[in-house]
Amino acid sequence: MFSTDIAESVTKIAVALVPMLLGMVCHEVAHGWVAYKLGDPTAKSHGRLTLNPVPHIDPMGTAMFVLTALTSPFVIGWAKPVPVDARWFNNPRKGMILVSAAGPITNFILAILFGVAFAFVAQNVPTAGSVYSYGYDFLYKMCIAGVWINLTLGWFNLMPFPPLDGSNILAGLLPPRLAYKFQGISRYGFFIIMLLLATGFLGKIISPLIQGSAGLIQQLISII
């Protein structure tokens, strides 16, 4: 029984690993790329405009991925934040909104791509005993995980709690004085997010958004 549980846990992590790494890395690269296009060379000079996961890995974010992959109905994790210097932007407030939105938008695009891949895999069932058949189940589950993980990353990061992307977007839309006060709670942001996760409150907010988005992707795929 113990060995079976371990095998199931390893399989669950393995299925989620590629979508999670791809989602986190592309999320951060998108931030850095948009910042670079707006005139900020910081991410590029730090070697962060790369799809190589090594420069992006955050130990705490990786630990959270493993923990939620084993215990939670949805998987959460994060990469090391890409450095951005808004002083390079012609319009710092607008620039930060665009940079912050780039990450979640990238995750939503990846979710759609994984959905398309799932449709292709589902429509091409292998012949029993073929080489493809041995990896089919894993690929099938990975595509499903890719949709749900990237939707989770997208909506999670859009939550208006510092230091998530949603807080930067909200701060850019608020009047300057109110935005300054709002950003003052960023020192408590990590603890607020952990509390919301621990109580399940954040999950209650995100779950309907994820399910609704997954339904939209399913409808989109059906007409492709």
**What is the C-alpha to C-alpha distance for residues 212 and 105, in angstroms, rounded to an integer?**
16
Q: Which residues of 132-168 are buried (b: 16+ CB within 10 A; e: fewer)?
A: eeeeeeebbbbbbbbbbbbbbbbbbbbbebbebbbbb
Instruction: Please state whether the peptide bond connecting residue 163 to the residue before it is cis, i.e. omega within 30 degrees of 0.
Output: yes
Strand, helix or coil for residue 57: strand
Specify which residues 79 forms β-bridges with.
Answer: 57
In this structure, what DSSP letter does residue 163 have?
T
Strand, helix or coil for residue 94: helix
Residue 52 tokens read as 């190589």
In this structure, what DSSP letter does residue 83 have?
P
Note if 28 is an active site residue: yes
**What is the C-alpha to C-alpha distance for residues 185 and 61, in angstroms, rounded to an integer?**
21
**What is the C-alpha to C-alpha distance for residues 207 and 211, in angstroms, rounded to an integer?**
6
* Neighbouring C-beta atoms of residue 127, cutoff 10 Å: 8
- Which residue in the list 21, 26, 28, 111 is annotated as catalytic? 28
Catalytic center residues: 28
